[in-house]
Amino acid sequence: GETLKIDIPATGATYRLEAEQAEGHPGSSRPSVAVEGCRLSGQPFQVGIVTQSPFDEGDPFIAVDCQQNIGSWDPNDIQVFPKGQGTEHLVDADTDLEYHIRFQNTGTDTALRVLIRDTLPLNLLDPGSIAIGPASHPMEWWVNEAGVLHFLFDPIALVDSTANEPESHGFVHFKIRQRKGNAPGTVINNRA
């Protein structure tokens, strides 16, 4: 029942507020809110600050998807969240990583089958912790002994971009835990 009013000047800065739950609160939620790019017309502002830190997904029934609007983009890419602090993209060693893989059929005919391979660094990430999130189309997934995560969309009937650009896109989202004991400054590369 408490209220806190905070006035924020429209300077283009990014503000983030996190609150701890009261003692005895069930679950692991840590509510947060962020304001980015609030400015007067014509003022510059920086984007991408909000996606540097994890969101309030401490409870199993909460899922947040927040992506930076980047304008032109490669239709086939992989993004990680949180993207981390600074130019080194630093995240805590106990922070789960969420990957969003996007793909597009830029060919000249309908794609009937799409297979995505994502080679996970097994020494740094725990494949046993993979939690598959939303996907654009029904698919099957598995991880082989070498740590290659497979996503098979079959059948998919993904139209080509010249026939129907909006319907030529697909995606899959998954979360994975870091292995315990990753040293500070450990670099985790991932490519699909």
120 and 147 in contact (C-beta within 8 Å)? Answer: yes
How many C-beta atoms lie closer than 10 Å to residue 189's C-beta?
A: 7
50, 51, 54, 60: CA torsion to nearest 10: 110
Q: Which amino acid is at 151?
A: F
Please list the residues that pair with 171 across neighbouring strands: 102
Which pairing describes strands 140-143 and 114-119: parallel, antiparallel, or unpaired?
unpaired
Nearest alpha-carbon partner for 170 in 138, 192, 131, 142: 138
Query: Residue 72 — very low, low, confident or very high, per pLDDT cuts 50/70/90?
Result: low
Q: Same structural domain for residues 66 and 33?
A: yes
Domain that holds residue 25: 1-70
Calculate the alpha carbon distances from 35 to 5, 6, 83 in Å: 14, 12, 17
For the full predicted model, state whether its pTM sits above 0.85: no
Query: Tell me, what's the pLDDT at 74?
Result: 66
Q: Same structural domain for residues 101 and 153?
A: yes
* Dist CA 158 CA 169 (whole Å): 8
Give the list of residues 6+ apart from residue 25 with CB closer than 8 angstroms, or none.
Answer: none
pLDDT in tens, 33-71: 887 777 777 777 777 777 777 777 777 777 777 766 665
Query: Tell me, what's the pLDDT at 165?
Result: 93
- Would you state the structure tokens that stand for residue 90, as one six-digit string? 């630093």
Q: What is the CATH number of the domain that holds 151?
A: 2.60.40.740
Top pLDDT among 68 and 189 is at 189
- Which of 54, 70, 86 is the C-terminal boundary of a domain? 70
* Dist CA 101 CA 79 (whole Å): 7
* Dist CA 136 CA 153 (whole Å): 10
Q: Same structural domain for residues 98 and 146?
A: yes
- Which of 51, 70, 89 is the C-terminal boundary of a domain? 70
pLDDT in tens, 106-147: 999 999 999 999 999 999 999 999 999 999 999 999 999 999
